[in-house]
Structure 1
């Protein structure tokens, strides 16, 4: 069966334009008229001219509202053009519209340049960093601004963003980026120059004397903190804000402006690490390591783009090289303690210069204990099990592996020192002086630990344990130095001795006391509290035995009496000062003047 259709009435007739076409062109005409009005007002009254001559800055402080209105009108014009192109790409109105866009883009180029150039103070990277509070999105690697601060700087940043958005969407991306990179790049170069950091090759760094090296390191330390926390961060904030619609454009601008400077910044520490330095220079090396380590989270955040991976890697490489150098210098320091070869005993058993040097070094080292936690490797030899006292496990409870490494490494350095001091104590012919030497040096070590960050590192248990060892050394000193003097009068037998036997004992006491005092007159205890405590201990023991003996035998009228118990403290007053003075003997004391002191006797002469 054949179906017959009614012929269409529209065949052969002219097709009428769709309503949407008329609407698009109507919208375009409205946009053209709005754009022409603002163009005549702000750019050039003569739109037929191929060149434009701005009558005034559209984005000056007074005209900012008009400037933003101008950008909005051009954006609307672009939208209208796209609508007409879709329905009637041959429309004659498009030529007129494109000419307007060209004029507008040339003007926006000038405005973009002028804003960047004339607002160097407001757009200084340091100012941008301090005033803005961005948070970096780790996934998208783009700054997210929850709130733009109300300030001239914020207005300028908003203007730049509006212009950049308009130019990029209009196909003028290259022109916009070129201007931005040129102006911002020159600002970065100027900022680096003002910081005074000099880019030196490894060869030049190797040839520097230490004073020059130290100056360059200090300049680097100052420059790095400013560059990372202010300049680079501020530049990242600004580029991410201005080019927020396009991550690739923001990345391109930021990378070109900062990459070379950032790489130069972190190549310097590697060069420093490779230079030969004495052990004392470890602290500036630690300063560099600590600075990079503390700034590393910001470095990774600021230079999170793929195109800035080299900066992150260079910073990490700097840390690795510096860490190796620090470990090498600590090992060298330990070796220098072991190799110390002085053969002359310290006069009077005082604190050895090696003890002072090593402990002052370790005190400074302990100030970097948090930094060292990520650097130091453990000593190859274990510490004695009781080195930290009986509660070794409790003392280290809660410590992480890295902090425990710092504790054991510093404890090991002190142990190496104490072993060396023990060896040097054998240079003394007198065992009592040898123990006094050990006590002086260990007490000095403990005092340094107690009054510095080493107490945090080693713990109170270490201090208590070693204070006990000082007490043991002093007890051995007293026993050897004064034992015979004390026992010469000591009598465990309750029976009375014959008078001539008692007098012989008293004479032995006198001779022993004078000999012991004379021998020890040049001995030294530098610490005043330790010196007083030791004198009090010796005096107490001597006073106890002499008082007991004198009372038992009523020796007041004996010619053999030289030292009254109550005067022993005065006799021993110069002990451990290293004066070398002989014992001043007071004539036999009678009962009438037995209560007089040595000072009273001397003043009456």
Structure 2
């Protein structure tokens, strides 16, 4: 009875198949559905039943059937005997068998690679399926079977992709230990900064890393071997690009988190341009070590991992690598571009130089990392931001010139002291020369070669582009100071002002590499100017005094005693006037102050002593002579000049 029930069931299935199976593919699919539904409806039984039905129908209506004995069930024959169906080949049986095997793996609700035996069996089935598809494709005789195999291969590749991504993303294997860097123990290696603008929760910020000779092993060797086996099957099956994208998708999360731990946040160009300088400077201070970390450690480590996962599978490893790192790489590069294109206020020079040097110094190390055609564009972007930052440095120097020109001549510096613009420019240039090598590179305009070979600095080269540029800035400053000196109504005080600023410039040039850049000839010209201003001061401030004393020498005999006494009174008046007016004048440099006083003493005192001697030698004058200031008194008053208001 059980056998009769099974025969009836098989007959019913065959009827359904004949009714609904309009094509070979539909027939195969229907048979497969029934075989999965009930164990009694195996594919072998169903095919055997169909074959028997087809054999019974072979006789046709023109033949007479004479049963000599009770009918025997037809022997199981191959489905090739079925009317209207192609012969069942070994490839068809292989596809059916692989379908059963692979479907079991694809339907698993756990990772196949959680069991090494399952993983090996699955890979073996995948290899067989790939070979079968290739064989069917080469034969080109059974398109329906090829479509079915391709559909099975697609499902197989989708599951492989899921396994591939899961193996890469496992948290326990994707947390590398880098001193002070990625994957560090938060309790020991990280600081929390709640004011980084990333949200309400504090972001763990990694401490800076100074040793860049580090490689991140993001996956253990066993996992690398597993994902490599998967990658090889996907490439062999023609799914190389899908595999590369799966790798990039799996790795981007790690890269994004790593960059976030470095305290970097994405900013648009508009945001960068609108930020207050203090805030932007803080961002730059974080960007520089982050840029070094990403391009010296993180990206090279990704290259190493890609090369291992896709070993022998070029160019898919190159595609996976650039797809994984491009977004964060471009984010860092775009920040550099935005800073370079922002305001070129002179105070930004030193941070821009730091950025430029950070990019320039790593360019040579990027050549082996970005050696393939797919990542060459990213290497070019890094080189381009280096050039852009260099151009920004040039622009900042030009803006310094404009700042000096625009500095208004409105308020005179009390006492003819050093003007703030002089202090600012000289200290600025002196500090800038701390990066003289970089500035030489930038000013020479050889930005395309930076990183390959630094430009040698010639100590006796005052004609370099940087030297010429600084000499031009000094000339602009000199003209600005001369304009400012005209504010002073008293010409001698204007000379004091120019003297003070000129001497300060000489001091700053001598005390730095500015002296090398400007050269000896420039220095001689500047010292000559200071001497000229000193002489102009003496002639202007002491002209009346010297005019009085000039007649007190050898020509005294022709001057009456009364006239000599009047000249003494005039000298006393002029001396008191000079000391009163110049009591708050200042010469800042001690040596210059001493030299000017000495020059005054040398010119005034001999003539004054001569006048006193002549008066004392004249009996008529000696009777009424009253010496208010002895030579020692006059010299003492001169020595108290130029000390400033405080003195």
Structure 2 length as normaliser, TM-score?
0.59
Relative to structure 1, the CA distance from residue 541 to residue 218 in structure 2 (aligned partners, 3 Å threshold; closer, same or farther) is same
Partner of 2:542: 482
Alpha-carbon shift at residue 433 of structure 1 (Å): 1.8
In structure 1, the partner of 2:630 is 564
Query: 2:324 — aligned with what?
Result: 257
Do the aligned partners of residues 179 and 553 (structure 1) sit closer, same or farther apart at CA in structure 2, a change above 3 Å counting? same
Question: Unpaired runs of 5+ in structure 2?
Answer: 1-103, 132-155, 183-213, 446-456
1:440 maps to 500
> Which of 1 and 2 has greater Rg?
2
Aligned residues of 2:467 and 2:518 also touching (Cα < 8 A): yes
Residue 19 of structure 2 is matched in structure 1 by none
Q: Which runs of 5+ in 1 are unaligned?
A: 1-48, 60-70, 83-101, 129-150, 379-394, 582-605
Contact kept? 1:235, 1:254, Cα under 8 Å: yes
Quick one: which of 307, 316, 336 aligns to 2:374? Answer: 307
Counterpart of 1:297 (choices 364, 381, 385) is 364
Select which of 529, 535, 542 maps to 2:597: 535
Structure 2 residue 299 is matched with structure 1 residue 232: yes
Q: Structure 1 residues 164 and 123, CA, compared in 2 at 3 Å: closer, same or farther?
A: farther
Q: CA RMSD in A?
A: 5.0
Distance 1:218 1:429, change over 3 A: same
State the 1:560 CA deviation. 2.9
Deviates more, 1:243-252 or 1:255-264: 243-252
| 1:115–1:348 distance in 2 versus 1, CA, 3 Å | closer
Structure-2 change in CA distance of 1:304 and 1:459 (3 Å)? farther
Inter-partner Cα distance in structure 1 for 2:623 and 2:293: 85
Tell me which residue corresponds to 1:519. Answer: 581
Q: Which residue of structure 2 lines up, in the alignment, with residue 349 of structure 1?
A: 416
How much has 1:124 moved relative to structure 2? 5.3
How big is the shift at 1:258?
A: 0.7
Paired residue for 1:24?
A: none
| Alpha-carbon offset, residue 415 of structure 1 | 0.6
Alignment partners' CA distance in 2, 1:330 and 1:214: 19
Aligned partner of 1:509 among 541, 549, 571: 571
| C-alpha distance in 2 between matches for 1:293 and 1:452 | 25
Q: Does 1:205 align with 2:259?
A: no
**Any conservation in 2 of the 1:289–1:319 contact (CA below 8 Å)?**
yes
SS at match of 2:328: helix
Aligned residues: 465
Change beyond 3 A, Cα 1:112–1:351:
same
Q: Higher RCO, 1 or 2 (CA under 8 Å, sep at least 6)?
A: 1
Q: Which residue of 1 aligns with 2:554?
A: 493
Equivalence map 1:63-142=2 (5 Å): 113=167, 117-122=171-176
1:39 equivalent in structure 2:
none
Q: Matched residues in 1 for 2:165 and 2:405: separation?
A: 71
Distance 1:241 1:459, change over 3 A: farther
What residue in structure 2 maps to residue 408 of structure 1?
468
Kindly state the Cα deviation for residue 232 of structure 1 after the two structures are TM-superposed: 1.8
Q: 1:479 and 1:350 mapped to 2: Cα distance?
A: 20
Instruction: Confirm or deny: 8 A CA contact 2:164 2:230 kept in the other structure.
Output: no
> Residues of 1 paired with 2:601 and 2:317: CA distance?
82
Deviation (angstroms), 1:194: 0.6
Identify if the C-alpha distance between structure 1 residues 477 and 318 changes in structure 2 by more than 3 Å, giving closer, same or farther: same
Pairing 1:214–2:268 present: no
Could you say which residue in structure 2 is the equivalent of 1:7?
Answer: none
Deviations 1:426-447 (A, max 9, x none): 3333322221121112122222
Q: Are the aligned partners of 1:195 and 1:223 in contact in 2 as well (CA < 8 Å)?
A: yes
Q: CA deviation at 1:418?
A: 0.7
Q: How many Å separate the matches in 2 of 1:240 and 1:558?
A: 109
CA distance in 2 between partners of 1:541 and 1:419 (Å): 31
Q: Is 1:273 the equivalent of 2:327? A: no
Q: Which residue of 2 aligns with 1:577?
A: 643
Q: Residues of 1 paired with 2:576 and 2:322: CA distance?
A: 84
Q: State the distance in 2 between where 1:277 and 1:152 align.
A: 37
